[in-house]
Structure 1
Amino acid sequence: MKKRLSLAALIAAALCVGGLRSSQATAAGPTLTIGSEAPELDIENWMQDGNGFFKPVTEFKKDNVYVVEFWATWCGPCIGSMPHLAELQNQYRGQGVQIISVTNEDTETVNGLLKKEHPQEGKTFEEITSAWCLTSDPDESVSEDYMTASGANGIPTAFVVGKTGLIEWIGHPGSMDLPLEAIVNDAWDRAKFKVQYEYENRMEEAMQRLNTLVGTEKVDEAMDFVAEMIKEAPSQEYKDHWTNMFHNVKLVTGQLDKETTEFYQGLLAQMEENKDPQAALGFANMLFGVSQQGADLGTLPTDTLATVTALEPTIPESYKVLYYNTIALMNELNEDFVKAAEAQEKAVGLATARQAKRMQPYLDELRKKAGIEEDADEEDAGEDNDKDAGEKAADDQE
């Protein structure tokens, strides 16, 4: 008997709610959350001050708004967020908003970065970060008070301290624009966001429990658990997330029925309507993975093939290898091995030499199933084509 497919792959490939957070809070829960009083700042080194506009902060002034953001010189997303932070600080300059970025690295490390040129902006890091307060706190006291206390486990992470000195928002600085605007304009619903934030922090634990239940073949318990999560979801987006998981469980445990088939057909229709080829390709490859565990997929391979094919005009060149490979997979599931081999041949033809070498065995397998034989001359020609194929597709599809 084939093993049940772990939900880990499905969780990664499913159409989940974006931006779900994970937490490393202690078993007793985080001591810093939305609505908590913001800890005072005990920062050792203030290295940029907004070109003299700002002063070092220890206590938070009433009626002012502060962004305490944690970053590091080695953190790519932190580097990518810097121009955005500069724009935000300039946008709110003079409106009682102060952005303070904190790293646990020493000043020597930070100064080494400041002298370099930002890879996208054509300016030095010193020029970009001069818009707001850049600081260094090697003893990690501020990080402990904020990051550790809240259970946050990734950077960049920003904490918005509101006009009354309470934590109003926690998240990635790239998602901060609308919350910050609402907080500045006294239009922020802290209580509503707290419910959402604390629910998101429970999501990782819930997903791990679901995966364990399915992995140990406690299918009935898994279904009951998901049904309960749907009932408790605080908003429609979370209901949608758990509804998706409900049907994923049915699919991966071999319980595909009319309800679940129609659910996935609806998702495919949305992908086509929204012209979302990446979602369609991801779903198709997830479906193929499920098929390898012996699950009955009903008409879903045919339905998925139709959607992916309809989206061909929207496929960027960098995804063409993946597109044709996916067409091959869906045709194989439909036992149309001739069309599968034709699609895989196009994929191999567009691939880099290294990709083509990896993909060729699958093409050979499909040709064998289709009863197609390749003579030696064609094989030699294929090797020559591989040498030129590197110019046709990006390695990042690997």
Structure 2
Amino acid sequence: MNSMKRYALALICCAATAAMTTRPAQAEADLDVGSKAPSLDIAHYYEEGDAKVTDFKKGNVYVVEFWATWCPPCVASMPHLAELQQKYRGDNVQIVSISDEDEETVSAKLKEPYPGKEETFAVVTSPYTLTSDPDGSSHKDYMQAAGQNGIPAAFIVGKSGIVEWIGHPMEMDEPLAKVINDSWDRDAFKLEREQQKQFEETLQQFAMLAGRGKIEEAGKILEEQIASAPNEEFKSNWINIRHQFRLLTGTAVEEDFDHYRGQLKELKGNPPALLNFAMQLYGIGQNGGDLGPLVGDITSALKAESETAEVAEQKAACFEVMARYFAMEEDYKSAVDAQKKALELAEGASSAQKRRLQLLLDELQSKLEGGSDEAPVEE
């Protein structure tokens, strides 16, 4: 198996992991759901009225969240944290947000205007408890101990001082509400985390085998995981990986082609999504995969979309992608015709965009006249 195909197989695994979860990969954890929450020893609080938290008061609920001034997703989460604190202020809930940066860095950030708002960061974050802990003790006790490798990350500490949930703060609305009203199923969530960890470990094993060209062994893992998946979500994800794996290894059957045809039908009337889908499969074809009859299905779908799309740039993009597919099949006459149409429709595009389209047309024209037989590489 060539190195490009191995690389493409590795990308399948990365994409599958991203599709399955937005949680950062978990290392071995000393702190997990069900553990007693460590006490806090935070150096700096930025609102005078904020109650300082050391030990967790029985009967209260806390959110311990980790952030940084340089982290765009952390900044994006701030209004939501403020909203949650306001919503549950009467329910003995306190959100404590901790950065490991120094006091000067955080103080300077709080004076800046919050993006898209007239208020400063200080005003936006004032409903909840914003802090910093430069010695990193809180980060060590929570983030490192729980094997969390990315921020923002939130820990919900329940009424008995136990960690009830760990995850992205934008995803904690439901678990927080259930922890507050005593309907949260901690054991079920812990099992879900264990299943996710098992999925990631098995995916790494599959990627290693596929990357070494051990196709039969990698395929066996896929079949075993599909048969033993703990729920429909995991099963569906393994099946999707198998579809891509078969395309890349030239072992696709009608079942796989029908899967992608079904996706094409769902994308009808959505040009951006169709173009993205088409380019993903084009990438598989470029890396040695065998798309079989899907080439015709995709070019037909693109042609139909080009006739109904309302935006000229989307019409042009449909013809450009069609040109790439025709070239992949060495039908350079059709490829050149499609690319000429793309350039014609891109009349209002930027000069850089037009130049890129022209370069592809020149490349296709050269191949039509007897140049290289390789399909054009996406730029």
TM-score in same-fold range (> 0.5): yes
TM range (shorter): 0.7 to 0.9
Q: Residue 44 of structure 1 aligns with which residue? A: 43
**Shift of residue 351 of structure 1?**
4.1
Aligned residues between the structures: 366
- Within the alignment, does 1:163 sit opposite 2:165 as a pair? no
Identity %: 43
Q: Which amino acid aligns with 1:77?
A: P
Match runs of 1:1-398 below 5 Å: 3=3, 4-6=5-7, 7-11=9-13, 17-23=19-25, 25=27, 29-48=28-47, 52=49, 54-272=50-268, 276-311=270-305, 322-333=317-328, 335=331, 336-346=334-344, 349-369=347-367
Distance 1:251 1:132, change over 3 A: same
**Shift of residue 22 of structure 1?**
3.5
**Shift of residue 105 of structure 1?**
0.6
Distance 1:342 1:148, change over 3 A: same
CA contact (8 A) 1:324 1:347 kept: no
CA contact (8 A) 1:308 1:327 kept: yes
SS in 1 for 2:33: coil
CA contact (8 A) 2:98 2:133 kept: yes
CA contact (8 A) 2:305 2:315 kept: no
SS in 2 for 1:109: helix
- Once residues 323 and 31 of structure 1 are traced to their aligned partners in structure 2, the CA distance between those partners, rounded to angstroms, is 51
Distance 1:124 1:319, change over 3 A: farther
**Shift of residue 17 of structure 1?**
3.0
Distance 1:43 1:310, change over 3 A: farther
CA contact (8 A) 1:271 1:280 kept: yes
Structure 1: segments with no counterpart, 5+ residues = 372-397
CA contact (8 A) 2:336 2:361 kept: no
Q: Residue 378 of structure 1 aligns with which residue? A: none
**Shift of residue 15 of structure 1?**
9.7
CA contact (8 A) 2:40 2:53 kept: yes
Q: Which moved more, 1:275-284 or 1:98-107?
A: 275-284
TM-score, normalised by the number of residues in structure 2: 0.87
CA contact (8 A) 1:65 1:162 kept: yes
- Once residues 309 and 204 of structure 1 are traced to their aligned partners in structure 2, the CA distance between those partners, rounded to angstroms, is 39
**Shift of residue 314 of structure 1?**
6.4
**Shift of residue 126 of structure 1?**
0.7
Q: Which moved more, 1:329-338 or 1:186-195?
A: 329-338
Q: Which amino acid aligns with 2:325?
A: M
Distance 1:296 1:18, change over 3 A: closer
**Shift of residue 190 of structure 1?**
1.4
TM-score, normalised by the number of residues in structure 1: 0.83
**Shift of residue 5 of structure 1?**
4.5
Distance 1:216 1:66, change over 3 A: same
For residues 204-259 of structure 1, give each alpha carbon's deviation from its aligned partner in whole angstroms, at most 9, with x where no partner exists. 44333222211211111111112222234332111111110111111111112112
Distance 1:231 1:41, change over 3 A: farther
Q: Which moved more, 1:278-287 or 1:167-176?
A: 278-287
Q: Which moved more, 1:192-201 or 1:216-225?
A: 192-201
Distance 1:319 1:101, change over 3 A: farther
**Shift of residue 195 of structure 1?**
1.7
